Amino acid sequence: MFRLDGKIAIVTGGARGIGAETARVFREAGATVVTWDVAGDADARVDVTDVPAVAKAAAGVAKEHGRIDVLVNNAGTGAYKPAVRMTVPEFESIMRTNYLGAVACTLAVLPGMLGRRSGHIVNVSSPSAFSPPAGQTAYAASKAALDAFSESLLLEVRDQGMRVSIVYPGHVITPLTLEQFKGQPMPPRFVCMDAARVAAGVLEALESARFRIYLPWFVGLTPLVKSFAPEFVRRQTLRAQPLTLS
């Protein structure tokens, strides 16, 4: 098993689901893990949309442990309903958490990582970033923004000893996603997985230092196929994950 002995890691959204499982896997690999979440059962109650709170929390971790080696931007939210039934504040809320929250956490740890010429930032994205299904306009837009941010950041820091990765899990079965999909068709079983599989993918990102990790692997074929047959991919996406408007 890949080891993280002596590494200091922050995992956002770490109180449940993917975040909690990632924290568990990291600890088993020897890392010291600090979980942030708006829920009270995390190591620190941190709202990633609160920029001053994020900066203060990151400074506290760095002071206590001497540095931050790994940041996993996992905190996220979403909505599964037609755009016509959403409001601008709902779009803003999702963007603040999924995109600007990751930006705030990244900027809070980036100076220290660059100063040491060492560090790895892993952003948990979604195939919705490059193949958005119906009913996920706000969520898909936030993940697409996160992707663009990640790739631009990679170009800025990869020659300065740092690494950036994006993990694209298929549909992760959690109580939150089950609630969001209530009354709607679930995605195909072959792209569904549990939080443990995603946590393994995050660890794989650290071990391999690859920029993109697709879960399952064939999800990575979608951008390739879409480049020459976009309408085919759109039809298949809508067929696999239709949206009930009634």
Average pLDDT value for the chain = 92
Q: 181 falls in which pLDDT band (50, 70, 90)? A: low
pLDDT over threshold 90, residue 174: no
Give me the mean pLDDT over the 100-118 stretch.
98
Q: 172 falls in which pLDDT band (50, 70, 90)? A: confident
Give me the mean pLDDT over the 176-188 stretch.
64
pLDDT over threshold 60, residue 198: yes
Give me the mean pLDDT over the 196-202 stretch.
95
pLDDT over threshold 70, residue 175: no
**In the numeric block, which tokens belong to residue 196?**
């443990």
Q: Which residues does 2 contact at the CB level (< 8 Å), separation at least 6? A: 29, 203, 206, 207
Give me the mean pLDDT over the 99-119 stretch.
98
DSSP for 57-93 reads: HHHHHHHHHS---EEEE-------S-GGG--HHHHHH
pLDDT over threshold 70, residue 154: yes
Known catalytic residue: 139? yes
Residue 45 to residues 35, 131, 240: CA-CA distances in angstroms?
9, 33, 38
How much is the pLDDT for 242? 74
Question: Cα separation of 93 and 99, whole Å?
Answer: 10
How much is the pLDDT for 39? 87
Give me the mean pLDDT over the 90-112 stretch.
98
User: Domains plus CATH for the chain?
Assistant: 8-240 (3.40.50.720)
pLDDT over threshold 80, residue 102: yes
pLDDT over threshold 60, residue 165: yes
Q: What's the pLDDT tens digit per position in 43-91?
A: 999 999 999 999 999 999 999 999 999 999 999 998 888 999 999 999 9
The alpha-carbon radius of gyration of the chain (Å, integer) is: 18
Amino acid identity, position 183 = G
pLDDT over threshold 70, residue 185: no
How much is the pLDDT for 216? 87
pTM: 0.91
How much is the pLDDT for 170? 84
Tell me the three-class secondary structure of the chain, residue by residue.
CCCCCCCEEEEECCCCHHHHHHHHHHHHCCCEEEEEECCCCCCEECCCCCHHHHHHHHHHHHHHHCCCCEEEECCCCCCCCCHHHCCHHHHHHHHHHHHHHHHHHHHHHHHHHHHHCCEEEEEECCHHHCCCCCCCHHHHHHHHHHHHHHHHHHHHHHHHCEEEEEEEECEECCHHHHHHCCCCCCCCHHHEECHHHHHHHHHHHHHHCCCEEEECHHHHHHHHHHHHCHHHHHHHHHHHCCCCCC
Please tell me which residue in 80, 99, 139, 214 is annotated as part of the active site.
Answer: 139
